[in-house]
Chains A and B, each alone.
Chain A
């Protein structure tokens, strides 16, 4: 009933009210993505830019290796696939760490009294008042060989020589985890908050242990929040380039830095940058579609 009332009361205004959203999506999402799609099939202009001639050279470069001088028989090119794979693994690990730390945090907050919950949520968002770049640079200062972290550990007598963290994969993971943790906490919190805790009580009454209750009752109920959190962490981590650049020392290309190099570096290969972006986009879409289809299958089962 209430749904009907809401619908009819804004009936005539629906289209005009949705217009700003559609225009925003059209201008800032659809048009740029289509531009990149078109660019990826054009010919590279020397030192950046495109020539309006159809070409598959960008995709060819991505998948086929013709040797340094381009005259060997084509083999499969692993360079870019490896760069993508490295980025995927890195994003997956960051997502896992965020989940392991974010879930208990969200659960903790959601089980506080309503007044204190807001304070905890507020505290979670505090680091976000500072620009991501500043936070990443601060992290660099903190973990460098001569930084405060090593200094304290040495003073406390826990270690004798500094632990080398800067310019390692560990530092990149730390940066990604720290950057995106709230993206994990907030959706899970929203799910746990809606969770009816009398279900847990019922489960306990039926002699389920705490672990069983968590696994079979709580987790399935808050799954949408967990999946939303995982997507929100995984997708930006995949294209992240601040952490790999500043904390990882920019030693190896990640998807983000590879694409950046095509547009801003000496390479100036816009079609290739566009093609890599399109492949990244397709990859993310496949992951999301896979998730969506598995969700709808589950819905059928219930």
Chain B
């Protein structure tokens, strides 16, 4: 399915590229972006294309792992920039798939918010700039379930009203991380009892789940196919705008926080344009356009006053005071990762 989606989006990107090509037939250069689906406004890409006289093409992916697989299978060298999540930046760097941004190459580097400069997944921002950040938790249709939604039990030990009406993301990393938070065990645990408990929890919980769906995470909630579903906060805000009874949860046990980043890929065919694009996205006005579209938060100074009133006050972007802090997904070493893969296979066997 994902491949088909990608084919469709790729063709769409191609159509857009051809469309742009006809108006900007004499574009100076090109820029090839590998990006998450349904995330960046087309207007912004058009604006960059016009300002810098560059032909922009974009392919989309629906999980960090799918992006890594595609790059590994030979796409490295055909894209200039990609937009991986936090832990995937670290993985890409370990795989030697990123180029280094030299001192002074980015004019707007100073615009990065201080707290996002020295991040664990890319100390000193050698390969990446912040793009958008947010949380992964779940939304509940409060018309179906009127009880307390701020607990991971809603997903992993659901009340009768929600059993069989739950969608989870089709992504082992996020589901197993949230399950670990539910059990109160560390991510990348190597403790046998903890892993057995995690395996048992997944076996128990999947009986309550209706589907695994990432790119349809919003649609299943809005359509009523699911009454509760794992979702990214901005996607959850979009879902709520289509179905007002949906409420985004901040579980008391914790939840996932993430940051997507624009990275400079190794062997980028248009390195100079890639840097121009990064500078472009460090302009508060431009990155605010992404936030207003996707309903996530930016990591750039001076964006706040440019956000819509709705985004500034939405529950999805403003955790309540009593909510715990979220945790980033951790990168496990090979033997540990293998155990988590086995648990995930057990879920779907």
Interface positions of A (Cβ within 8 A of B): 46-49, 68-69, 79-80, 82-83, 131-133, 144-146, 166-167, 241-242, 245-246, 249-253, 257, 260-261, 263-269
B167 CB, nearest partner CB in chain A, Å:
8
Which DSSP category, helix, strand, loop or mixed, fits chain A's interface? loop
B246 CB, nearest partner CB in chain A, Å:
15
> Which of B2-10, B27-35, B100-108, B285-293 sits within the interface?
B2-10
List A contacts of B339 (CB < 8 A): 68-69
Do B5 and A252 touch across chains, with their CB atoms under 8 A apart?
Answer: no
Do B72 and A48 touch across chains, with their CB atoms under 8 A apart?
Answer: yes
Of all chain A residues, the one with the shortest Cβ separation from B212 is: A250
Task: Indicate whether A266 sits within 8 Å of B171 (C-beta atoms), given known contacts A48-B68, A83-B349.
Answer: yes
List B contacts of A257 (CB < 8 A): 348
A169 CB, nearest partner CB in chain B, Å:
13
Do A68 and B199 touch across chains, with their CB atoms under 8 A apart?
Answer: yes
For the complex, give the distance between the alpha carbons of A257 and B4 in Å: 13
A205 CB, nearest partner CB in chain B, Å:
54
Task: Indicate whether A265 sits within 8 Å of B172 (C-beta atoms), given known contacts A69-B192, A79-B349.
Answer: yes
Interface positions of B (Cβ within 8 A of A): 1-5, 8, 63, 65-66, 68-70, 72-73, 91, 95, 167, 170-173, 192, 195-196, 199, 206, 209-213, 216, 223-225, 334, 337, 339-346, 348-349
- Which of A47, A68, A166 is most buried by chain B, counting CB atoms within 10 A of its CB? A47
List A contacts of B340 (CB < 8 A): 266
Task: Indicate whether A144 sits within 8 Å of B65 (C-beta atoms), given known contacts A68-B199, A266-B171.
Answer: no
Do A47 and B4 touch across chains, with their CB atoms under 8 A apart?
Answer: no
Do A47 and B211 touch across chains, with their CB atoms under 8 A apart?
Answer: no
For the complex, give the distance between the alpha carbons of A144 and B334 in Å: 41
Do A264 and B8 touch across chains, with their CB atoms under 8 A apart?
Answer: no
Do A46 and B69 touch across chains, with their CB atoms under 8 A apart?
Answer: no
Do A132 and B4 touch across chains, with their CB atoms under 8 A apart?
Answer: yes
Do A269 and B341 touch across chains, with their CB atoms under 8 A apart?
Answer: yes
For the complex, give the distance between the alpha carbons of A210 and B210 in Å: 47
Do A249 and B337 touch across chains, with their CB atoms under 8 A apart?
Answer: no
List B contacts of A69 (CB < 8 A): 192, 195, 339
List A contacts of B225 (CB < 8 A): 144-146, 166-167
For the complex, give the distance between the alpha carbons of A133 and B321 in Å: 44
List B contacts of A267 (CB < 8 A): 172, 341, 344-345
Contact sample, A vs B, 29 pairs, CB 8 Å cutoff: A48-B68, A48-B73, A68-B195, A68-B339, A79-B345, A80-B349, A131-B8, A145-B224, A145-B225, A241-B1, A242-B1, A246-B1, A246-B216, A249-B212, A249-B213, A250-B170, A250-B211, A250-B212, A250-B213, A251-B348, A252-B348, A260-B2, A263-B73, A264-B2, A264-B70, A265-B63, A266-B337, A267-B345, A269-B341
Do B69 and A264 touch across chains, with their CB atoms under 8 A apart?
Answer: yes
- Which of B68, B70, B343 is most buried by chain A, counting CB atoms within 10 A of its CB? B68
15 extra interface residue pairs, beta carbon distance < 8 Å, beyond A251-B206, A264-B65: A46-B334, A47-B91, A69-B195, A69-B339, A245-B1, A249-B167, A249-B213, A250-B348, A261-B345, A264-B3, A264-B69, A265-B65, A265-B344, A266-B65, A266-B173
B78 CB, nearest partner CB in chain A, Å:
17
Of all chain B residues, the one with the shortest Cβ separation from A147 is: B223
Of all chain B residues, the one with the shortest Cβ separation from A256 is: B1
List B contacts of A269 (CB < 8 A): 341
Do B1 and A251 touch across chains, with their CB atoms under 8 A apart?
Answer: no
Task: Indicate whether A82 sits within 8 Å of B4 (C-beta atoms), given known contacts A48-B68, A48-B72, A266-B172.
Answer: no
Of all chain B residues, the one with the shortest Cβ separation from A244 is: B1
List A contacts of B349 (CB < 8 A): 79-80, 82-83, 252-253
Do A48 and B212 touch across chains, with their CB atoms under 8 A apart?
Answer: no
B191 CB, nearest partner CB in chain A, Å:
11
For the complex, give the distance between the alpha carbons of A47 and B195 in Å: 21
